[in-house]
Each structure stands twice: as C-alpha cells, then as structure tokens.
Chains A and B, each alone.
Chain A
Amino acid sequence: MLRLAFQTLRTRRALFAGSLAAVTLALVLLTASGVLLESALRGEGEANRFDGASLVVTGDRDEGLDGKDHSPGFGDVEAPLVPRPPLPGSLRERVEKVDGVREAVSDLAFSAQISGEDGRLVRPAVGNRSLGHGWDSARLTPFRLREGTPPKGPGDVVVDAAAAARGRIHVGDRVRVYTSAEGRGAYRVSGVAAPPRAALTKDQVALFFDAATAGRLAPPGGDVHAIAVTTDAGADPEAVASRVRSAVGEGPGVRVLTDTARAEISASDVLFLDTLVFVVSMGSLAVFVALFVMASGFAFAVLQRHREIALLRVIGATPRQVKRMLGWETLCVAVVGAAVAVPLGALLAEPLARGLVDLGIAPDELEVRVSWPPLAGAAAVGVLITRLAVVAAARRAARVRPEEALREAELADRRLPLSRVLTGLAFLLFTGCFLFFGIAMGGVQGSGLAFGGVLTLLIAAAVLGPALVRPLVPLAGILLRLVFRRTGRLALANSAAGPRRVAAAAVPLILMIGFPVSALFMQTSQQSTAKEWAAERLVADDVLVPHDATGLPPAVAEDAARLPGVSKVSATSSAWVRVQVRTDEAESVNARALAADPALPDLLDLHVREGGLKGLVAGSAVAVSQEQAKEYGWRVGDRVRMRLPDGTLTKLRVGARYDRSLGFADLIVPSRVLRAHTPDPLLDAVYVERASGAEGRKVGEELAGLTRDWPMARGADRDAVRAAGAEDAASQTWPAYVFSALIAVFTALALANTLVMATLVRTGEFAVLRLAGATRRDVLTLVAGESAVVAVCGLLLGGGVAAVVLAATSVALSGGVDLAGPPLFLAGAGAGAVLLTLVAALIPAARLLRDRTP
C-alpha cells in the first residue's frame, strides 16, 4: 500500500500540491512560533536593576489568604505582572548575619518623577516608570558616578545618565522631583550615575537620594522593596541562598531569589507575555486553517479520484485498504511538508522575531535560539493534522462502491450522505452551545466564549457546504444573468448541477471572509463599546489623567480641589489585592482593584445593577462588576476576605454589583481602605466637577495652570476622553490584520489548488463547447461566470458566519447588537475574495484553451 501511495503521489502531484502547500506553510509558521515561544519562555526575566547582586530577598505575590503558597497555574498569563509585595525592613539584620553574606542592602523603590530643562517629565527609553532609591541601592546594579558626587544632604539627588541626557540635566542644576510623600520638591543635582549596561535600566528612570531623604520619601512603616545580598568572594550563591532561606524563614510571604532578574517586573517581561500570546495565536491559527484547507483539499481529491478508487475496489482492495492507501499518501505529504517546513521555519524564526520587535510586540532582548523540541513538535503536529484532515475524505473513499468503476458517465452529484449531515448538525449544535452559553455568561468572557463559535460554525459551513450552496446558486444567478448575458445561463446550469464543486471552491472563501471579519470586528466593536461606555460613565466635567507617567502623585487631587470654581474632586488609584474566591478560605486570587474615594459615585455613573454604593462611600463595602462577581462566586451581602498591598488582612461586605465594566475596573474598594494600605499610591485619574455658576473658561485656565505645575498630568474634558480611547484602540488591532493576511494566503493556496484541479478535468467539456461554436472568449466568460457564483456563495456564507458570531458576541457584551469596524477592511476582504476566485479559475482555463486549440 505504501508503494501504491507513493506512486500515486509521484504521478499525480497536482492532486496533492494544495495540501502539501498548506501543511508546509502551516508548519513553517508553527515551527517559527514554537521556536519563538520557547525563546520567549526562556527570555522571561531579563537582567535588570539587581544585576550586581547575588541574591534578592523579596515579598511573595503567590501567598494565599490561608498563608500557603499558591503559585499560578499554567496559562495564568497575568500572574507574572503582579508586583512583589514589600518586606519588613527588619529582616535585613538577620540576612546580614548569615554566613557567606558580605553585604545586605535594603532597597527602597518609590515613585519619584523628575522634570527636565523644558519642564516636561523625563521618561525612560521604554515605558514610563520613574523610581527613587537610597544611594545604597546604586551598587546593586551597580550604578557608578560619572560626574559629581553622591547625594550628601537632604537637597541632593543623583540622576541616572540616560535620564539626565534626555532631560538635559547637568550636575549642579536645580530640578523638581515629584513624589507621593512630599508632592513637589526642589533638589540640586549632585551627580550623574550610569549602570554598566544601559539596557539594565532602560525601562526606568533612577533617582538616588541620601539615606535619610530616601527614608522620608519612601512609604512609611519601615517596609522595603527588597533586600539585595552580595556574597563573599568564592561563596556558592545557592548555598548562601539556602542559609538565607532558613534565616528569614522562607515560606509564603518571603522569597529568596538566586535569579535576581525575577526580583522586579521589567518592561521586557510584559512584552514577553505579548510575544507568547502572539506566537501561540499564530501557531494555533495556522494549524486550524491548515486543517480546514487540507480537509477540503483531500475531500476534493477523493471526489476527483472516484473512478480510480472504484477500480481498486473491483480488483480486490477492501475499504480498509483504500483508507490505508489514503493514510499513507497523506503521511507522505506530511513528511515531505515537514522536511521542507521545519528547517525553513527555524530559519524564519529570527526575521520574525525582529519583525515582532519592530512592531513593539516583542522586547529587544528576545533572543532566538533554535532547539529540537519545537522542531520535533511541529513535525509531529504536521503528521497529526494531515491524519486528522484526511479522516472524512478517507471515510468517503472507503464508501466508494466497486460498481462505480463500470459506469462510463461522470459521477453525478448525489445528495449529502446522512453521516455528513449529522456531522454538520453536530457542529451547528456546538456553535449553538458556544453562542448560548456565551450570551448567558455575558461580559467580556461571555463574549469571548461566544466567539469560540466561529470555529465550529466555519466547520459546520464547510461540512454542509453543498447543501448550503444549492439554494444560493439561483440567487447568484440573478446577478450572473445581468453581467453575462450569453453564457450566464450555462454557467448557472453548470453551477446548479455541481453544488459539490461549487462548495469545494467556496469553502476556503467562507474561511477567508468569516474568520478575519469576525476576529477584527469583534475587537473593534468591543473597543467602540468600551469607549461609548467610558463616555456615558463620565459625570464629571473634567478629568486629569497621567501623561507619560505611571500615575499622578496624590497631591494633584488636593491641588485640584483647591482651585476656584471646582466644587468636587474624586480620585482613583489602583493596586493588586489578594481576594478570597467563593466562600473557600484556601482559594484566593490576585485582583486589580480600584480605590475610590467617597465622592466617586457623584462623578462617575457606575451603572449599578444590584445593591447600592452607600457602603462604598462609607468605607465598609466593595463594589464588583457583574462579570467578576460571577467568576469569584460573590453575591451582594457576602463578606469577603482580602489582603491589601501592604499585607493587612481585612474583610469587607460586597455592597453592589455593576455592569459595563469593560475597560473599567472589576473591583472597587473604598480608598480609605485600599489607598491607605497601598505603599506609595499613584492616582489613575482625578475627576473634577465644576461649581454651578463657575465660568467654564476660567476653570479651564485654572486646570491648565495645574498641569503646568504637575507635568505628568493632562487635563481632558468629556470629548477628549472619547477621542483618547479611539487612539488606543487603533494601535491594538494590527495582529488581526496580520492574521487576516495569513488566512488570505492559505485561502489563495486552497482556491488555486481546487480550481486548478476542477478546471483541468474539463478538457472534454471545453472542447465540446468550442466545437459547438463558442469562442475562446465565450468559454472564459463561462468560467468567470461560474467563479462569480462561487465567490457570491462564499461571500454570503462567510458573511453569514461572521454576522451570526458577531451578533452573539455583541449581545453577550452589551445585551444588544452594536457592531463597529473599518468598512474598508470589509470591502477589501470581499474584493480580495472575488479577485482570487476569478484569477484562480481563469488562469488554468486560459492555459487549457491555449494548449488544446491552436
């Protein structure tokens, strides 16, 4: 059977070219994705500010409310982004006494921003983090003075060289430093220091103060950010680490890290996560699309080889042997595909990585190293997906009856076999489940669940293709007769007589339209909904938001409240808290919570659905989004335990549930609970209400003056808030475009393959037409007409899939159908599909006519 399969492949290459191309392309992408995935996983935790230390003792973000360790499970993408909580500074003495420790430094890290010569805030090369430390901490990187002296008095600051250059700050300059503790402070630059490699601190501005000043500016309570340890020369860091562990009593709450890079979250860590998400999406998409394209390719190949298979059956091949033959054939396809694709994919990984870095989705540190597991994995997946793709086709081949070999006439299109109808209905049912449960669940997650229906619905459309195409053909015919008067009728008759042939060509189009449109429009619709809601939520007249900064010092809100013409001010900040999930003590998760002061309900309309905000205002209750409440299993009235950022344990009542949380907070905690227990809180936004009767222009001027004093703040009125949302949104949708382009390539392959095969067998038919007096042009018009039918069917079905899924995701999110997206993309996808179909059908037809008719 193997030989037979091999021979078939050798002589009928055209039959497998499409599938081979599909599996090769998929494996190239999969291999590259796999290599990048592995590289990104290895790269997480780049060397950073603690590079000069041997060990770092830090707080533990994975400590549960039960005091036990709850390390995040696989796939908890956000987990690495939760900052490590602070440590009691008293631990330093214990660490210092451990044998092998040369020095233990308490590292303080607090928000400290500096403005440059032009009065604007100085930002790091990447992101906008800006931190202050004691001069002690300088040696952890180590930062060394380039110019000037260390900070000697309360008015001195040492600025890192990169920041100094960017802000044109020189030794001796008077500068403003903004901190939570003292608001605005005036300092003199005593020195400029630089780390051994700029990359170590490229994502943060570092300011160094003398020990007393740093202690004053750091959050009160004596807690430290980390304790960094340098070991004696010659001491084994691992051995010292284990001694330090026993000295500080490592367990939940405290961690001793020998990999000092993991002590602090760097901008690259965040980007590595983006890289992971991207490559996983790309790899799985490639696999799905290849599966889809190959399954329809194999099915079509079996249809074309009907007579040959029947002949084999007559001569004595059992149905199992026929199946096995196809199995071997596809295995050959997979092996050849893998042999080409895996090395190619490995080579492609590097340029792809550079591309991702350029697009800002991967960090500069992404270093591609090719190792065998992703390569072997991709090859295995290749075999697996070709096997899977051939299952349906092989079953159909096994059902070919031997007597069919005796028939001289071309096999007529039969009705869909029952098993296929049932498969299609099963996938429709799955789709129904996705949509139903998605809508029932609601919110972003429900919307995501409903989106899962796009895959099953696409499969259902492919399986039921011929049945779905049949009623669409007359519809396309109306259009056809308008465009092609003479040959339209024949094209229509041909299409109507062979719905399977039409469906085989239309299926890739369904995919090409259905998936990208769904994926992109779901994203854009969600963004537009979030924007709308944000605008509706806003009751305040003005908002101050951070600009080029991680947050605003709390003093900004105090200053705003003092402005004439301002009647009310409310500020929000956010922090990670550990909250109890359901009623189980042991189960808890890290959650990002918004701290809201009592005036918030007056300035934001939270859209409360259940309960009230009295408790939130009074400082005794939290408010939670509908979606999060469902996930945490919280009901209004429940009392839930939580650990605040400084380690304080508390228990609060759930006072209200609100919806429309998309793009807003999932959990709101009274600021007197949360902000009071957040070391160094920065404000996310300051909402301002103008006093009735206050002159609008005047308040505006006052606010503008405020933002001059606080360069990290930017004022915005309601319209500006909406516009800002739109800017953000546009920059997040490009992966959808990349994936759309990817699918288009696969579709082009599948279409070309199917249409070339379908056209080549029509030699006789074309000859008859030519003999009957049709010009070459007439025949080509006929082919174009038939392609138009295919394109119309594909567009209608693909559009239908997208419409159904998008409607469901929108209903799940907002309870109504509210879709938004770039109309140009829609038009482009449609035009692309039509063009592809025409080109893929006309080229082989034209060649055929040229070859056969001199």
Chain B
Amino acid sequence: MTLPDQEARRSAPLTRSALRLNQVTRSYGHGNGTVHALRSVSVSLPAGSFTSVMGPSGSGKSTLLRCAAGLDRPTSGQVFLGDTDISGMRERKLTILRRERIGFVFQSFNLVPSLTARENILLPFRLAGRRPDRDWMRDVIARTGLTDRLRHRPAELSGGQQQRVAVARALVTRPEVIFADEPTGALDLSSGQEVLKLLREVVDTTGQTLVMVTHDPQAASYADQVLFLADGTVVDAMDRPSAQRVSERMSRLGS
C-alpha cells in the first residue's frame, strides 16, 4: 500500500484497480457559504481489497462513499469503476450500473419492509428483469446463514439477521465493488462482529472489492487497509491495521 498521491502518480494499469478516484472535489453551496466536503481526493483501490475509510465527523467520509458509489456527483474530478468513468453519467445509466456492478450495505433501513428476506435479496434481479444465478444464490444464502430465514419479513428478523440479508442482497448480483456505510453501527457487539467476519470472508473467497465507512477501530481492523480522512482530504493510510493502531491514529486526528 502506498500513499494515495504516490499511487496516482504511478500509471494506473500496474495493479488493476476496481475503483479509482481522480482529483475528486465535492462542494456544496456557493459564494462565501461554500462547504468543501472533499478536496481533490485521489484514491485507487485494487480489485479484491477490503478498505476501511475512517475519519472524524464531517471529515467527508460519507461524501467520499457517495461520490465513489455514483450516488452523488463530484463537483470536479473523475470516478472510475473499473475502466468506466461514472462521474459524468446520466441518471438512468448510473442506476443500471449501480444495479449490475455495485452493492450496498447501510447502517439501518436496508430492506424493503413489505418484502420477505428472499424477496429483498432478489430485488435487484426483479428490478433488472433478469433471472438470478441459482447456484450462486444458494451459495450466498448459505454463506450468510439465512437458509431458514428466507420467508421472514424484516420486522421478524434481528438486527444482525437484517444486516446479513442486506449483505446477501449486495452480493447476489456479483458486483465489482460493495459499499458499506457503518454496517455495524446499529448492531450489538457480537452481531456486528458476525457481519464483519462475513464481509471479510466474502472478500477473501470471492475476490470482490469492499469499501467500508466506519468510525469503529475494531471494525476497521478487519480491512486490508485503512484510509484516514480529515477536512475532505486523505491524510494517512495504514496497511494491515489493528484496532489498537487505528484508534491511536484516530485520536491523533482529534476525533
């Protein structure tokens, strides 16, 4: 792992990157009231990596996630998913791209309350009007341990189970990149760890790329690398993090 700006100077194709941000700036408002949520951030994440994004509140980590996932448009700069520049895409194409190549897991309210677990998992296929890959689906469901929970509605599941349904849904389309926003934020300790282990295992066994925003050093320690954000820029990076080292680094950031 190198510092992001060094990475940017190197030519891209050396390690195939699953996600690349090039000089991405995102600001809100204009004139004197302009808020710069991201200031010229360049990051490249190799395929099959698990990256945590950390930083104090207001550091821009959520904005980074939104821009990288195509939910928000950068004010300037480009975002590449694989070789596709998604920063200038029209809403419709972006939606279809999200459906096929990106997966999401959020802190809470991840599921459509009126659908069963199984229907929630299959929702991306239904939206795309495609048939799911049966074997892969069975695999994902087994991996997330949901085999006997498929007929339940979200309200009948525990928080950890709900989050596992969300992970299964994120995986089921075999996306290139999965984005997770505080996936353990609303869970108790053991359920949180269960979900993190699941995510780690997914990256290791399927080679999918995972980007996770979190403020929990323990959660961050599951990642291959941690990016530290402050004031809208990447101020540091850490390979093979441990919870101890991450919290030390965070306390220096003043969080």
Contact = CB atoms under 8 A, between A and B. Distances in A.
A406 to B, nearest CB: 6
Contacts of B72: 403
Contact of B109 (A8, A307, A401): A307
Interface string A235-265: 0000000000000000000000000000000
Interface string B183-200: 000000000000000000
Contact of B95 (A307, A313, A408): A313
Max count, chain A CB within 10 A of own CB: residue among B65, B104, B181: B104
Interface stretch (A315-323, A470-478, A524-532, A545-553): A315-323
B219 to A, nearest CB: 17
B164 to A, nearest CB: 16
Contacts of A8: 112, 114
B253 interface: no
B71 A316 contact: no
B114 A7 contact: yes
Contact of A7 (B92, B99, B119): B119
A839 interface: no
Interface string A342-368: 000000000000000000000000000
Contact of B71 (A314, A318, A319): A314
A314 B107 CA distance: 14
Given A402-B71, A403-B66, A316 B113 contact: no
Contacts of B112: 4, 8, 308, 311-312
Interface in A115-139: none
B62 A406 contact: yes
A319 B181 CA distance: 23
A212 to B, nearest CB: 88
A3 interface: yes
Contact of A317 (B119, B127, B153): B127
B115 A4 contact: yes
A89 B123 CA distance: 84
B105 to A, nearest CB: 10
A403 B100 CA distance: 18
Most buried by A among B62, B66, B109, B115: B109
A10 B108 contact: no
Contact of B153 (A11, A321, A403): A11
A315 B66 contact: no
A403 B124 CA distance: 17
Interface string B92-126: 10011011100010111111111100010001101
Contacts of A402: 71, 95, 98
Nearest to A12: B114
A3 B100 CA distance: 21
B104 A315 contact: yes
A70 to B, nearest CB: 57
A844 B100 CA distance: 43
Interface in A294-325: 307-308, 311-319, 321
A318 to B, nearest CB: 5
B135 interface: no
Interface string A1-35: 10110011011100000000000000000000000
A315 B153 CA distance: 18
B128 interface: yes
A405 interface: yes
A8 B114 CA distance: 5
A316 B114 contact: no
B148 interface: no
Contact of B128 (A313, A314, A316, A406): A316
B1 to A, nearest CB: 27
Contacts of B109: 307-308, 311, 405
| Interface size class of chain B, counting residues whose CB lies under 8 Å from the partner chain | 20 to 34
Contacts of A12: 113-114
B215 to A, nearest CB: 13
A402 B114 CA distance: 19
B66 to A, nearest CB: 5
Which of B66, B96, B113 has most chain A Cβ within 10 Å?
A: B113
In this complex, the member of B65, B98, B119 whose beta carbon has the largest number of chain A beta carbons within 10 angstroms is B98
A316 B106 contact: no
A316 B108 contact: no
A316 B100 contact: yes
Contacts of B95: 313, 316-319, 402
Contact of B108 (A1, A312, A401, A408): A408
B98 A4 contact: no
A11 B113 CA distance: 8
A598 B114 CA distance: 82
Nearest to B109: A307
Contacts of A307: 109
Contacts of A10: 114
Interface in B138-188: 153, 169, 181
B71 A311 contact: no
A317 B176 CA distance: 18
A402 B169 CA distance: 17
A307 B106 CA distance: 12
Nearest to A401: B71
A321 B96 CA distance: 11
Contacts of A406: 62, 65-66, 71, 106, 181
Contacts of A405: 106, 109
Nearest to B186: A408
A514 B9 CA distance: 69
Contacts of B128: 316
Contacts of B100: 316
A326 B112 CA distance: 15
Contacts of B106: 405-406
Contact of A315 (B65, B108, B169): B169
Contacts of A313: 95
A3 B127 CA distance: 11
Which of A3, A308, A402 has the most B CB atoms < 10 Å from its CB? A402
A267 B134 CA distance: 75
A10 to B, nearest CB: 7
A316 B96 contact: yes
Contacts of B108: 408
A319 B98 contact: no
Contacts of B169: 315
A318 B104 contact: no
Residue of A10, A308, A317, A401 with most chain B CB atoms under a 10 A cut-off: A317
Contacts of B127: 312, 315-318, 321
Contact of B98 (A3, A314, A401): A314
Contact of B99 (A11, A316, A401, A408): A316
A525 to B, nearest CB: 51
A10 B114 CA distance: 8
A402 B71 CA distance: 6
A746 to B, nearest CB: 27
A568 to B, nearest CB: 83
Contacts of B62: 406
A401 B96 CA distance: 14
Contacts of A321: 127
A232 B63 CA distance: 96
A317 B114 CA distance: 16
Nearest to A3: B126
Nearest to B102: A316
A406 B68 CA distance: 14
A401 B111 CA distance: 17
Interface of B: 62, 65-66, 71-72, 91-92, 95-96, 98-100, 104, 106-115, 119, 123-124, 126-128, 153, 169, 181
19 contacts: A7-B119, A8-B114, A10-B114, A311-B109, A311-B111, A311-B112, A312-B112, A312-B127, A314-B71, A315-B104, A315-B127, A315-B169, A316-B124, A317-B95, A318-B91, A319-B95, A401-B71, A402-B98, A406-B106
Given A316-B95, A316-B124, 7 more contacts: A8-B114, A312-B127, A315-B169, A316-B98, A318-B95, A403-B72, A406-B62
A-B residue pairs, 8 tightest by C-beta: A316-B99, A11-B114, A403-B71, A8-B114, A318-B95, A7-B114, A317-B127, A316-B127
